[in-house]
Amino acid sequence: MYRSSLVILALALTALLLSGCPRQGLTPEKDLHDALGLFIQSLRWGDTQGSARFFVEPHSHDFLERYRDRDELNITDVFLNEVHLSPERDQAQVRLRVEYFLLPSASVRRADIEQHWRMLPGGIPGPQSWRIHTTFPDLY
C-alpha cells in the first residue's frame, strides 16, 4: 500500500513537471512590458548599476559615468506614458515621465524622456532581450 502510494505520487509529480509550458503565451510585448517594469523599478530605487544594464554600449557606460555618484539626485517616481511597438514587434518608442528632486532643494522637477528600445537579435527571449538604444538625458 505504502509503495503504491509512492509510485502514484512520483508519477503525479513527474506529470506535473513535464506539463510545464516554458514560454506559452509570452510575447515580445509582454517581454518589453516586463523589461520596462524592471528598468523603472531600478530607476526608482536609485540602482544605477541595474539601470545601466538596460542600455547598449556606449549608452550604458555614459549612464554609469553621469549617475553613479549623484547622491543629490532623488527620483521620486517614474511613469510609463506611452509605448509604440513596431509592426515587426522588435522595436519600441517609449515615453517616460521622471519626477525627481535635487538636494538640498525639495522642489519636485519633471522630465519627459523618449527612448528607443530594441530587442536583441537571437539570444533567449524575455525581458533581458530588450535594450535601450538612446542616451538618458541629464537630470538637473
* CA-to-CA separations, 74 to 47, 50, 67, 71, in angstroms, rounded: 11, 16, 11, 8
Residue 23: its pLDDT value, please?
47
Residue 74: its pLDDT value, please?
96
Residue 125: its pLDDT value, please?
77
Residue 22: its pLDDT value, please?
46
Per 3-state DSSP, what percentage of the chain is helix, strand, and coil (rounded to 5)? 35, 30, 35
Residue 24: its pLDDT value, please?
47
Cα 5 to Cα 8: distance, rounded to the nearest angstrom:
5
Q: What are phi and psi of 2, to 5 degrees?
A: -60, -40
The per-residue pLDDT string of the chain (140 residues; one tens digit each, 9 = 90 and over) reads: 555 554 454 444 444 444 444 444 468 899 999 999 999 999 999 999 999 999 999 999 999 999 999 999 999 999 999 999 999 999 999 999 999 999 999 899 999 999 999 999 876 778 789 999 999 999 98
Residue 133: its pLDDT value, please?
98
Give the residue carrying C-alpha cell 513537471.
17
Of 134, 127, 130, 128, which Cα lies nearest the Cα of 59?
134
Cα 133 to Cα 58: distance, rounded to the nearest angstrom:
9
Residue 124: its pLDDT value, please?
74
